Amino acid sequence: MALFGITDGITRRIDGAVASVSEVFFEPVVRVGVTGLSRAGKTVFITAVVANLLARGRMPQLRAEAQGRIEAVYLQPQPDLTLPRFDYEAHLAALTGDDPRWPASTRAISELRLSFRVRPSGLLAGFGGPRVIHVDIVDYPGEWLLDLGLLEQSYEAWSEATLERLAKRAEAADYVARARAEDGALRLDEARVRDLAARFTAYLAAARDLGRVDCTPGRFLLPGDLAGSPVLTFAPLPKPATTGRGSMWREMDRRFEAYKARVVTPFFRDHFARIDRQIVLMDVLGAIHQGPRAVEDLRRTMAEVLSAFRPGRNGWLSGLFGGRRVERLLFAATKADHLHHVQHPALTAITVAMLAEAKARADFAGAKTAALSLAALRATVEDVVERDGARLPCVRGRLLASGKQAAMFPGLLPTDPARLLSPAREGAERWLDAEFGLMSFAPSRLTLKPGEGPPHIRLDRAVEFLIGDRL
């Protein structure tokens, strides 16, 4: 109890000040990771969360808010001076301007610090004034987690597995033919290596555009300031009979090892290992719309992504984590505003079923987990239309392509997830008994009342799960 008294006194004095020793000791920091594969909805999610925490009129499920204990929420300079800041203002301006747009793709790590001033609850309520809690939100591409799998592989094993996978893919035909024709025993020729890497990258880009989600190494498609450097200039090659010094295969091997040591390891050590709470966003509806193959790809890729949350799985990683682990892990199916709310439970059930295998294997190292369906920014309203005598629960919004208003009934999701997941697993080409059409909606023009954030679905529940216990 005494500790709280002291804390409160100090908190009040350094209120709004920059970090100090006392802040480190008395103002707890929660690091929340936000991840998901490309286009999963990370940027929109973070922007909407921040906007709805700064103006909390639509956050009734956030307990501290419902109890009236949140005195203030404000943005602060982030502690990590070398990470790009999450460009909240620009993304919010895009989403809520006169001509609302979805924000541009981001594809790199960024961070934002949000600070809360809250009155303590329960037994402690009578003791002293408010506390300050900092929430650091870290946005990073889920693809980077896939690279964790590379750390356990040698260049030889990775090449073999990758070439085997590529052999079955039409979009990889050019690269596979080129790689098979290459003799890795020959002396290194930089122009040839660059050509191989360029073709391999072109394959990865084509695979991504087809909706494939296993496009590793992650940085080939998201190179940032590493573009063109040797650490990103390698590709899988069959192992030749001899791999002498100075051979192409040896050099590729060296670069692959450098990628692991200089690109992958620092991300896990400096960022991933410090995350306390994590939300993983998944565009499950998008995958269902694309068909069984996309659903199966998403399921397999998520299982791989999530193995990163299993620190016990090898000694190397445990060492890196220093015994720390993620305490809470939330899986969220995004863009749920494409569905009438009567279908949300089915979407959540499919999401849970997709993750079942990964969860059974790991149980996420004791982390508390949950799943839900949400829309970070609600772009539709619900409606019911009559068709052929049936009443269909649908949604209505402004179409991205034409700007026209339209109602959409995307199809009925089965309440038994196996109806989708089994055919997907068995390699079906298309859904047998149903079609799931999706239209892309533009964000709607908003007129917000004072104290109200942009409209959403279950964003408050997501925030409550992630940080509610710390407020």
Ligand X SMILES: Nc1nc2c(ncn2[C@@H]2O[C@H](COP(=O)(O)OP(=O)(O)OP(=O)(O)O)[C@@H](O)[C@H]2O)c(=O)[nH]1
Strands 405-408 and 390-398: antiparallel
Does 38 participate in binding Mg ion (rule CB under 5 A)?
no
Look up residue 17 and give its DSSP letter: P
Q: Considering only residues 30, 32, 40, 263, which one is a binding residue for ligand X as defined by CB under 6 A?
A: 40
Alpha helices in 223-343 (DSSP H): 248-258, 265-270, 284-290, 292-306, 315-321
Instruction: State yes or no: residue 415 binds ligand X (CB under 6 A).
Output: no
List the Cα angle 251/257/261 in 5-degree steps. Answer: 140
Task: Return the closest-CA partner of residue 37 out of 290, 365, 227.
Answer: 290
What x/- string results for residues 362 through 401 when contact with ligand X is judged by CB under 6 A? -------------xxx-x----------------------
CA distance 142 to 108: 10
Using an 8 Å Cβ cutoff, are 254 and 193 in contact? no
**Pick 100 or 128: Cβ nearer ligand X:** 100
300 binds ligand X (CB under 6 A): no
Query: What is the spatial distance between Cα 343 and Cα 457, in angstroms, rounded to a whole number?
Result: 13
| Residue 315, CA distances (Å) to 276, 310, 320, 321 in order | 20, 11, 9, 10
If contact means CB under 5 to 8 A according to the sort of partner, which of ligand X, Mg ion, none does residue 79 touch? none
Nearer to ligand X, 23 or 143 (CB): 143
43 binding Mg ion? (CB under 5 A): yes
Instruction: Name which of residues 177 to 206 contact ligand X (CB under 6 A).
Output: none
Rounded to the nearest whole angstrom, what is the least distance from the CB of residue 286 to ligand X in the complex? Answer: 8
Asked if 35 touches Mg ion (CB under 5 A), the answer is no
Binding partner selected for residue 343 from Mg ion, ligand X, none, CB under the kind-specific 5 to 8 Å limit:
none
* CB proximity list for 145: less than 8 A, separation 6 or greater: 35, 272, 304, 305, 308
Q: Where are the beta strands (DSSP E) in 51-140?
A: 70-76, 110-118, 131-139
Contact region for ligand X (CB under 6 A) — 101-109, 191-199, 208-216, 268-276?
101-109
Q: List phi, psi (to 5°) of 393.
A: -75, 115
Nearest residue (CB) to ligand X, 271 versus 338: 338
The residue from 11, 52, 106, 348 that contacts ligand X (CB under 6 A) is 106
What binding mask, one character per residue, do residues 112-151 give for ligand X by CB under 6 A, x or -? -----------------------------x----------
Q: Which is nearer to ligand X, 14 or 210 (CB)?
A: 210
DSSP H helices in 307-450: 315-321, 344-362, 418-425
Chosen residue from 27, 32, 42, 70 binding ligand X by CB under 6 A:
42
Query: Does residue 38 interact with ligand X by CB under 6 A?
Result: yes
**Residue 106 engages Mg ion in binding (rule: CB under 5 A):** yes
Instruction: Name the residue nearer to ligand X (CB basis): 248 or 284.
Output: 284
CB nearer to ligand X: give 101 or 430: 101
Question: Which residues are near Mg ion by CB under 5 A?
Answer: 42-43, 106
